[in-house]
Structure 1
Amino acid sequence: MTQGRFVEAETAARRAKLIKLRREGVPYDDPRIMGLGYATPGAARKDLTRALQNHHEDEAAEASVYRQQENERLDALLAAVWDKATTPSPVFNKDREIVAEEIDLKAVDTVIRLIDRRAKLNGLDMPVAFEVSGPGGGAVRLDHVTLPELNQLIATAGEPDGSDETDNEDLRYVDEDEDEDDHGDTA
């Protein structure tokens, strides 16, 4: 074993022991951790961060390889069904005469599902935007909301503005600190 590989193996073994001790809740300044060869608790903390980062990079590399393999499989499946989905085929009557040409709708559905799967695999789909707004389209105040008020807000969510012209005191959120300036002093 070369010197470099020996050091790598030693570092990996030390980090494995460090991770085990930290999972058990052992503090960084404990003699068991310091006995692993760390000069300070900060050095042990930094080494743990490096170990976790290296592990994360290894996981990301594995995920990238998996994603590539899945994309190649989807490519093969898509190539196998593409012609059926895009090229019209003859439609015969009972006398075996061509009466029309149609594309294979099952193949089209398969292509759409394969494309959808690829978009999900590669994160191509845009996230769905969701916004909750208060009366008149303004912000919903949640800093002084009681559970019954929140439940009523949830129950009425989705109603168009102006659908209920009555003033609903239960849904009116008042800033109880509105008479105070930024330092908590009353004006």
Structure 2
Amino acid sequence: MAWSKLKMDEVTVRRTKLLQLRRQGVRFDDERVEQLGYSSPNAARKDLTRALEAHRAEEAAEISTYRQQENERLDALLEAAWPRATQPSPVFDKEGNVVGEELDMRAVDTVIRLIDRRAKLNGLDMPVRAELSGPGGGAVPLKATSVATLISLINTAGDEDDEDLDETSDGQEDDDEDSDDDGDPDES
């Protein structure tokens, strides 16, 4: 049986009040939620879920409409720029004589930007994937160190003077680290 307009309005008002209470941090078992007409905290929880799902569906429809409008605008702009970007135009000298033909590079750039915008709008570009790897593409080498050393590194991160990076927390130089960065062991 279909809900009446009055019943749908009542549900909308109740859900709006429930959303307001939840934003304030009110728990489902609070008496204010019960006063909205819910038989149990679980019923209120289910109704909130329904409200959020309905909101997501409405939002998705709005996004779809917006995306369609933007695609139509891009189509109109692309249609206007395409001939100048793909058909050579005459090039004139100072006297007005035709000396050659070439594409309008500004129009080419415009077309490329329009195509790029359409790809982003419609999610056609593959997401960029970044990976952190160590030497030769292998695992990043990690070495056991003290918490104090890590804190020291964090505190000095971004400092222009990074001389203290090769020292341990007690001020002693690390035996297996090279301090002169020439690849040879220290010659002291």
TM range (shorter): 0.7 to 0.9
After TM superposition, list the pairs within 5 Å mapping 1:79-158 onto structure 2: 79-136=79-136, 137-139=138-140, 146-148=150-152
Q: CA deviation at 1:77?
A: 0.5
What's the secondary structure of 1:101's corresponding residue? strand
Distance 1:141 1:34, change over 3 A: farther
What's the secondary structure of 2:32's corresponding residue? helix
Q: CA deviation at 1:94?
A: 2.9
The answer to whether the Cα contact below 8 Å between 1:90 and 1:98 also exists between their aligned partners in 2 is yes
The unaligned stretches of length 5 or more in structure 1 are: 156-166, 170-187
Who is 2:66 aligned against?
Answer: 66
Who is 2:28 aligned against?
Answer: 28
Distance 1:98 1:135, change over 3 A: closer
Taking the aligned partners of 2:82 and 2:155, their CA distance within structure 1 comes to 50
Identity of counterpart residues, as a percentage?
58
The unaligned stretches of length 5 or more in structure 2 are: 160-175, 179-188
Q: CA deviation at 1:134?
A: 3.4
Q: CA deviation at 1:149?
A: 5.9
Q: CA deviation at 1:24?
A: 1.6
Taking the aligned partners of 1:49 and 1:28, their CA distance within structure 2 comes to 12
Q: How many equivalent pairs are there?
A: 158
What's the secondary structure of 2:99's corresponding residue? strand
**Pairwise CA RMSD of aligned residues?**
2.9
Taking the aligned partners of 1:154 and 1:126, their CA distance within structure 2 comes to 32
Q: Which amino acid aligns with 1:86?
A: T
Distance 1:5 1:119, change over 3 A: same
Taking the aligned partners of 2:111 and 2:28, their CA distance within structure 1 comes to 55
Q: Which amino acid aligns with 1:99?
A: V
| Residue 18 (1) aligns with residue 10 (2) | no
1:48-96 CA-partner distances (Å, limit 9, x unpaired): 1111111111111111111111110010011011000000111122333
Taking the aligned partners of 1:23 and 1:17, their CA distance within structure 2 comes to 10
Distance 1:62 1:18, change over 3 A: same
Distance 1:109 1:102, change over 3 A: same
Distance 1:22 1:107, change over 3 A: same
**Which contiguous aligned blocks of 4+ residues in structure 1 show a shift greater than 4 angstroms?**
139-145, 147-155
Distance 1:30 1:141, change over 3 A: farther
Who is 2:6 aligned against?
Answer: 6
Taking the aligned partners of 2:116 and 2:89, their CA distance within structure 1 comes to 25
Taking the aligned partners of 2:40 and 2:113, their CA distance within structure 1 comes to 55
The answer to whether the Cα contact below 8 Å between 1:132 and 1:140 also exists between their aligned partners in 2 is no
TM-score by length of 2: 0.72
